Chain A
Amino acid sequence: MTDGIFPSTATAPGARKDLSLGAVRERLAGAPGRAYWRSLEEAAATPEFEAMVHREFPQLAGEWQGDGVSRRNFLRLMSASVAFGGLTACTRQPLERIVPYVAQPEEIVPGRPLYFATGMERDGYAVGLLAESHMGRPTKIEGNPEHPASGGATDLFAQASVLDLYDPDRNQTVTQLGRIRTWRAFEEAIAGRLAAAPAGLRLRILTPPVTSPTLAGLIATVLAEQPLASWHQYAPVAADHGIEAARRAFGRAVAVRHDFSRADVVVSLDADFLTQGPGAVPYAGQFMSRRRARRGATDLNRFYAVETTPTATGSVADHRVAATTGELGAFAAALAAAVDGGTPGGGRLAELAAVVARDLERHRGRGLVVAGPHAPVAVQVIAHGLNEALGNVGATVSYHEPVEAEPQDGLASLARLAADMSAGQVDVLLVLGGNPAYDAPADLDFAAAMQKVETCIHLSLHADETSEYCHWNLPAAHYLEAWEDHRAFDGTVTLTQPLIEPLYGGRSAAEVLTLFTAAGPRSGAELLQATWRRRLGDGFDAEWRRCLHDGFVPDTASPALAAPLDAGALAAARADLAKLPAAGLELCFRPDPTVYDGRFANNGWLQECPKPLSKLTWDNPVLVSPALAEERGLVNEQKVRLTVDGRSLEAAVWIHPGQPDGALSLSLGYGRRRSGRVGTGAGFDANRLRTTANPWAAPVDLEPLAGRYPLASTQLHSNIAADRFQGTNLEGREAASRHLIRQATVEEFERQPDFPHHVGHGLDESLSLMPGWDYSEGHAWGLSVDLNTCMSCNACVVACQAENNIPVVGKDEVAKGREMHWIRIDRYYEGALDDPAMHHQPVMCMHCEQAPCEVVCPVAATVHGDEGLNDMVYNRCVGTRYCANNCPYKVRRFNFFKYTDTETPSLEMMRNPDVTVRGRGVMEKCSYCVQRISQARIAARKEDRRVRDGEIRTACQQVCPTGAIVFGDLNDETSRVARLKAEPHDYGLLTELGTRPRTTYLAKVGNPNPEWPARASGAGESPHHG
């Protein structure tokens, strides 16, 4: 193999004697992410780099020179002097500089945030967002209410994307073989290389699935100009099986869209549709709109979930069945048979399938069968068949023109690419995003193949495993820095506009691609306008401005189409189902609930965000069922060796209630070797066991090992420490007997709407010696959480973290029980641990009217406001931690160390200026987003009016896809929150303590099927009365 040195690079500015790629790799091999970076930072100290910085992005010059450094020193000084300053009674603040603009931009008014509509793309699909910008710094992401894929809400990934923008580990410069280069150098290199290949370059473009009209257009152009070039799309978590299934069922690529709001009966065949997939946010909204039990409105849907891995979606099911892939197939087959009027066959699964089938029959046209994108193709085909047979098509299911520009089976496509590369058929590999060296199936050995390529070019946010094997590494523009257009799950074209100049001079995929076109380099803005000037035609400017304002191009949703089902395909599918492995242990691969496929591995917020069910942070252990653990004598944190056809991996075990006994689960996205200071080394790399043949489930050998690997969970701290109460579900039993979660079936609810008040210990609040306080004047803030519509998607947790400058503490601290989240989602298992019912309960500060925390604070650092807020005054807190001890809800969080990183300048830019950044030794907690309340109150008072209902929305409320959280004024009977609290099944947590919480819950109302056969140990399959 020849090292990829272009003729022209020798003359590139600042070029020195070129190292061989091998040498570079040697130098970097084995160095952990940070060391890898250090080598680049050293380079960054060179004068030519300085020069380049000024040339390329002057706006950052300040950052790079003394300024940033001196600021860091200053802060360090401060944190030290706090102690001494504090000792003397009079603390004298240092003089502060105030730096106005030279010429103030029109729209910017210091102190007032601006909101811009933009869109975030993941695996090609976009979600419409509103980005909040303070003085030109994006600080917070909200959903775009107008956008079909958002409706005002977002998922946790969008919330955390701000942190990615300011991530200090981002690719900061163009590098060639690990040496700092400039974009110009790269441009010249490309130009030279193209010129050197008149017959055309054997160019390979590797992208994630592409929906972007602009990008797709460009790729088409390049392919046209370069006859030998080809385009491959791959993403580890793309819906390849779905594409394949559609192709088989309908003979063509089809986009399937669901309407959960019209479905009375929903059956999930291993589909995590509430939290995964491009349509998850709106789907969750639709689905939960049918789970809201209100007085007189009890028309709930019924939800059956068959799952190979317990998911957030399955956790809200009325009936949940844990099944291996084989059993899933069997169930699907039985269901299909039953719907056809045939005999589902014997066995429990068949029995259940029959019940489900009857239910579906009863709701023809109002039912919906959803197969997960990772379920076997056959199962998905069957699902299409069922919807067809049940007349759901056109009602709850609709077929549309594909959203992707050119739907491909990514695995196949990547396999072809790998083959070409190994065969030395590739001159230039252009990887636009993605990280194939890490996440390609193991059998392709993509990294090795890359070494056979003359030149690898990688455009990415971070220097990752793939960068290590590339000659050229290009800093990508974050979506908040770029002009792009992507389509949403329904095809609506969503516009991504930059809120900030690229911090590190990054460029978008399209911009890089232009370098390979005859037309030459063009900016993202130009490209976008070019595309849309063509499409929008006359009156472009006005139209375009409106689109940018709205964040999307109206009426671009992909049109519906009639997709006749191929009967042959159905028969074939049934045959395939029979072939699915019936016995033996299997290992399921799933996208991780918080770091997805690994692209978010360096995002501290997501790493520390507890997984919906296991509540684990910072890791992806092998999930095993309690029964299997008992059989193999496994305990939590024990190490095991997994072997999938010859390849093996050592990982730790986590005992996961609700896991099928025959299946292990391991999530993707961990075990990153090159990710940055946060993600490197966390967890275990599932991709090393993944193959093109079995991307989602593979037969596996499990071998227990002696060692232990510590895991950090935000719940069950006690059980992790030592395996006490293992398998006895002490927590669940206690939770039930304490009536923390109160639930009923629809029938029970209709019979006794105020059922929550007939369990637990009430308290006559008039029985107080002390005169109470009167909150009837002015506002009385309160919050209501609907337990029925919370699925633990964690969007609120991350939103709160972003809004309130909540620090990340790291795995060790979490293991000690020192996580800082202001809102946590408690998870309780009900019934036997092998197949329990699952409950989620978001818990934030209850703002008790008789707050136990306030009474015990010696310095009055936490006191009550006249609007009933439990104010926490950080600057008065001396840190006795008495309040946290005395809080029965345990919602108070203490800064045991100086957790907030005030040394990293880029992170300083990310902070919400409206919220105090907490230092060491002070208590903090949910404030009902008091900064938002204050701003609204001031606005209202300036206009001499009351604050209107809905004018204030807490961060958690604003982001919630299902509207489970509602905040407002209790003194205003017409407010949404007041009406919710008037519901008969509204109840407070631990009210028997006389705390009078302002946060209350709407009890759970399930809709189980009375026909559902109970089984011997079958506790938990159907909700029990609390």
Chain B
Amino acid sequence: MAELTPDARMGKPPVVAPGYTPGSVTDKISAIVLTRTPRWWWVAFGLSFLLMQALLVGVAYLFFEGVGIWGVNNPVGWGFAIINFVWWIGIGHAGTLISAILLLLRQEWRTSINRFAEAMTLFAVACAGVFPLVHLGRPWLAYWLLPYPNTMGLWPNFRSPLIWDVFAVSTYATVSALFWYVGLIPDMATLRDRSRRRWKKIVYGFAAMGWRGHAAHWHNYEVAYLLLAGLATPLVVSVHTVVSFDFAVGQIPGWHATIFPPYFVAGAVFAGFAMVLTLAVPLRQAFALQDFITMRHIQNMAKVMLTTGLIVAYGYLIEIFMAFYSGNQYEEFMLLNRIQGPYKLHWWALLLCNVLAPQAIWLRKVRSSPWLVFLVAMFVNVGMWLERFVIVVTSLSREFLPSSWGTYSGTRWDWAIFVGTIGLFLSLLFLFVRFLPMISIFEMRTILPEAKSVHQRPEEADA
């Protein structure tokens, strides 16, 4: 109980409700996967799957007709596709952050949320991955972005941020998947040993790779896990930095800003935690996991969200400041145009969602009510999408030559494909919670009093 007493003194809720043993934890979590499918799951999955059809139809029509079915034009060459791409990628970041960075920072409260946060990362990246592909004028030639020896003797242009994207995003997807799977192995063993049905034993058995929990296994395993965390941390930072380069390397007023990398990364974590909360609050309700995903988690995540939110707000502030301080008339106009131009509504709405709404977290009352936190998170989800809209569209619509100004608005196909990816995301998520342990079982065991009672070096407390 040594860990908990200071918390208790500070009136913090515990990381895991008292009275649990490795056995009970194991049974409670594996039960979610191994018992019969609840009816509501079918409903939820069905709906998300239906939603996903919008994506299929949208993309099919897109490939048939061309990107002209979208609102994109000259000068606004990028629209929803890139907005959604950045939005989804950003969301993904929280997962890696929780599982990697918090691990290195020995935040043991990460334990009960890192598993599905990582899953969320994977699915978000999957959704994001759709867009760079389909937004091409000739998507069937997308493979030309990969460096491979071809009969034309040609290679990609490695100076282009889009190529950096290809490397960054594909690496991110791969490493996240590896990290996630490695984390799953011991739990796969648990499920292998718990499940009654033979086919389940075989499937989980294969996934477990014959994990036996041998002391030597555990040793190498922990080293590997720590190293992966160490690698994932700079990776996750690099990914959104690279994404921000898509804009920062361009020279459009509103894109060409050195503040972008840090402020994109912060924004990503901001958006990510918002999404984790958006998922965690209903899930803990649905599966009665209040004992494992406690108010402690909700509050901590809310606080991280608030902090990163403030960093993002600082980013906005600096943008405004630099616009005038730099004395660059294009920057100045860009900003005035955001404030009072054709897209002023988006800009003000963005401030409301991303700067104003999160301030509610300061209030203990809000912090300690899951559903209020959930509400704030929803605001942030919308706000971060708007942020990307403002960056992409408002900047492009009015840049250097007034003769070439234009306007942009998404068509029904833009929306169909966007909504469709949300469907894809949810479908994957529901499949995940049904077939895999949404909380890392073996890590939960390590934070139980029983485990702590064994004298061991402190740093293993979290690992």
A and B touch in the complex (CB under 8 A): yes
Residues of A within 8 A of B (CB): 82-84, 86-87, 89, 715-718, 721-722, 724, 730-732, 734-735, 737-738, 740, 813, 816-819, 824, 826-828, 841, 843, 852, 854-860, 876-882, 884-886, 888-890, 892-898, 920-923, 990, 993
Asked if B136 and A738 sit within 8 Å, CB to CB, the answer is: no
Tally of A-B Cβ pairs under 8 angstroms: 182
When C-beta atoms are compared, the residue in chain A nearest to B340 turns out to be A724
- Other contacts beyond A738-B400, A738-B402, A826-B401: 7, CB < 8 A: A84-B140, A717-B405, A732-B402, A817-B74, A827-B403, A855-B249, A859-B145
Asked if B138 and A878 sit within 8 Å, CB to CB, the answer is: yes
Asked if A718 and B398 sit within 8 Å, CB to CB, the answer is: yes
Complex interface residues of chain B between 415 and 459 (CB less than 8 A to chain A): none
When C-beta atoms are compared, the residue in chain B nearest to A83 turns out to be B140
29 example contacts (A-B, Cβ-Cβ < 8 A) are as follows A89-B143, A717-B405, A718-B406, A721-B342, A721-B407, A724-B342, A731-B405, A734-B402, A817-B407, A818-B73, A819-B74, A855-B157, A855-B249, A858-B166, A859-B145, A860-B155, A860-B156, A876-B144, A878-B136, A879-B138, A880-B136, A880-B162, A881-B72, A885-B77, A890-B74, A890-B404, A894-B74, A897-B65, A990-B400
Asked if B66 and A876 sit within 8 Å, CB to CB, the answer is: no
In the complex, B24 has a CB within 8 A of chain A:
no
Asked if A858 and B160 sit within 8 Å, CB to CB, the answer is: yes
Complex interface residues of chain B between 99 and 154 (CB less than 8 A to chain A): 135-138, 140-145, 152, 154
Q: How many Å lie between the Cα of A132 and that of B68 in the bound state?
A: 34
Q: How many Å lie between the Cα of A716 and that of B406 in the bound state?
A: 7
In the complex, B250 has a CB within 8 A of chain A:
yes
Chain B min CB distance to A305 (Å) = 23
Q: Which residues of B contact A889 (CB under 8 A)?
A: 400-401, 404
Q: Report, as a range, how many residues of chain B touch the other chain.
A: 35 or more
Asked if B402 and A877 sit within 8 Å, CB to CB, the answer is: no
In the complex, B333 has a CB within 8 A of chain A:
yes
In the complex, B78 has a CB within 8 A of chain A:
yes
Asked if B73 and A817 sit within 8 Å, CB to CB, the answer is: yes
Q: Which residues of A contact B397 (CB under 8 A)?
A: 718
When C-beta atoms are compared, the residue in chain B nearest to A883 turns out to be B77
Contact of B136 among A718, A817, A884, A921 (CB under 8 A): A921
Asked if B75 and A921 sit within 8 Å, CB to CB, the answer is: no
Q: Which of A735, A859, A993 has the most CB of B within 10 A?
A: A859
Chain A min CB distance to B43 (Å) = 37
Q: Which residues of B contact A731 (CB under 8 A)?
A: 402-403, 405
Asked if A843 and B251 sit within 8 Å, CB to CB, the answer is: no
Asked if B399 and A828 sit within 8 Å, CB to CB, the answer is: no
Asked if A897 and B162 sit within 8 Å, CB to CB, the answer is: no
When C-beta atoms are compared, the residue in chain A nearest to B397 turns out to be A718
In the complex, B302 has a CB within 8 A of chain A:
no
In the complex, B186 has a CB within 8 A of chain A:
no
Q: Which residues of B contact A732 (CB under 8 A)?
A: 402
Asked if B401 and A890 sit within 8 Å, CB to CB, the answer is: yes
Q: Which of B143, B161, B404 has the most CB of A within 10 A?
A: B404
Q: Which residues of A contact B342 (CB under 8 A)?
A: 718, 721-722, 724
In the complex, B356 has a CB within 8 A of chain A:
no
Chain B min CB distance to A463 (Å) = 32
Q: Which residues of A contact B369 (CB under 8 A)?
A: none
Q: How many Å lie between the Cα of A617 and that of B12 in the bound state?
A: 68
When C-beta atoms are compared, the residue in chain A nearest to B164 turns out to be A858
Asked if B251 and A888 sit within 8 Å, CB to CB, the answer is: yes
Chain B min CB distance to A613 (Å) = 13
**Is chain B's interface secondary structure helix, strand, loop, or mixed overall?**
loop
Contact of B137 among A734, A817, A922 (CB under 8 A): A922
Complex interface residues of chain B between 202 and 216 (CB less than 8 A to chain A): none
Contact of A858 among B145, B330, B341, B401 (CB under 8 A): B145
Q: How many Å lie between the Cα of A779 and that of B382 in the bound state?
A: 54
Q: Which residues of B contact A82 (CB under 8 A)?
A: 140
Contact of A878 among B73, B144, B249, B333 (CB under 8 A): B144
Q: How many Å lie between the Cα of A1004 and that of B46 in the bound state?
A: 67
In the complex, B380 has a CB within 8 A of chain A:
no
Chain B min CB distance to A728 (Å) = 12
Q: Which residues of B contact A884 (CB under 8 A)?
A: 74-75, 77
Q: Which residues of B contact A730 (CB under 8 A)?
A: 402
Q: How many Å lie between the Cα of A62 and that of B22 in the bound state?
A: 86
Q: Which residues of B contact A922 (CB under 8 A)?
A: 137-138
When C-beta atoms are compared, the residue in chain B nearest to A889 turns out to be B401
Asked if B407 and A876 sit within 8 Å, CB to CB, the answer is: no
Q: Which residues of A contact B140 (CB under 8 A)?
A: 82-84, 86-87
Q: How many Å lie between the Cα of A788 and that of B333 in the bound state?
A: 29
When C-beta atoms are compared, the residue in chain B nearest to A816 turns out to be B73
Chain A min CB distance to B258 (Å) = 15
Q: How many Å lie between the Cα of A737 and that of B328 in the bound state?
A: 12
Q: How many Å lie between the Cα of A860 and that of B157 in the bound state?
A: 5
Asked if A828 and B141 sit within 8 Å, CB to CB, the answer is: no
Q: Which residues of B contact A813 (CB under 8 A)?
A: 68
Chain A min CB distance to B29 (Å) = 43
Chain A min CB distance to B389 (Å) = 15
Complex interface residues of chain B between 328 and 381 (CB less than 8 A to chain A): 329-330, 333, 341-342
Contact of A881 among B78, B141, B142 (CB under 8 A): B78
When C-beta atoms are compared, the residue in chain A nearest to B74 turns out to be A817
Chain B min CB distance to A958 (Å) = 25
Chain A min CB distance to B249 (Å) = 7
In the complex, B67 has a CB within 8 A of chain A:
yes
Asked if A843 and B396 sit within 8 Å, CB to CB, the answer is: no
Asked if A818 and B162 sit within 8 Å, CB to CB, the answer is: no
Given contacts A721-B342, A856-B162, A993-B251, contact A818 B68 (CB under 8 A): yes
Q: Which of B137, B399, B402 has the most CB of A within 10 A?
A: B402
Asked if A857 and B160 sit within 8 Å, CB to CB, the answer is: yes
In the complex, B198 has a CB within 8 A of chain A:
no
Q: How many Å lie between the Cα of A897 and that of B73 in the bound state?
A: 11
Q: Which residues of B contact A885 (CB under 8 A)?
A: 75, 77-78, 250, 252, 396
When C-beta atoms are compared, the residue in chain B nearest to A734 turns out to be B402
In the complex, B63 has a CB within 8 A of chain A:
yes
Given contacts A734-B402, A858-B160, contact A83 B145 (CB under 8 A): no
In the complex, B159 has a CB within 8 A of chain A:
yes
Chain A min CB distance to B429 (Å) = 30
When C-beta atoms are compared, the residue in chain A nearest to B76 turns out to be A817
Q: How many Å lie between the Cα of A897 and that of B137 in the bound state?
A: 9
Closest 4 CB pairs of A and B: A879-B137, A921-B137, A896-B68, A881-B77
Q: Which residues of B contact A843 (CB under 8 A)?
A: 401, 403
Asked if B400 and A920 sit within 8 Å, CB to CB, the answer is: no
Q: How many Å lie between the Cα of A83 and that of B140 in the bound state?
A: 6
When C-beta atoms are compared, the residue in chain B nearest to A899 turns out to be B68
Given contacts A817-B75, A858-B157, contact A886 B250 (CB under 8 A): yes
When C-beta atoms are compared, the residue in chain B nearest to A733 turns out to be B402
In the complex, B163 has a CB within 8 A of chain A:
yes
Q: Which residues of B contact A740 (CB under 8 A)?
A: 401-402
Q: Which residues of B contact A722 (CB under 8 A)?
A: 342
Q: Which residues of B contact A990 (CB under 8 A)?
A: 400-401
Given contacts A717-B405, A921-B138, contact A878 B74 (CB under 8 A): no
Asked if B137 and A852 sit within 8 Å, CB to CB, the answer is: no
Q: How many Å lie between the Cα of A738 and that of B403 in the bound state?
A: 12
Q: How many Å lie between the Cα of A370 and that of B455 in the bound state?
A: 106
Q: How many Å lie between the Cα of A89 and that of B65 in the bound state?
A: 22
Q: Which residues of B contact A816 (CB under 8 A)?
A: 71, 73
Q: Which residues of A contact B72 (CB under 8 A)?
A: 881, 896
When C-beta atoms are compared, the residue in chain A nearest to B159 turns out to be A855
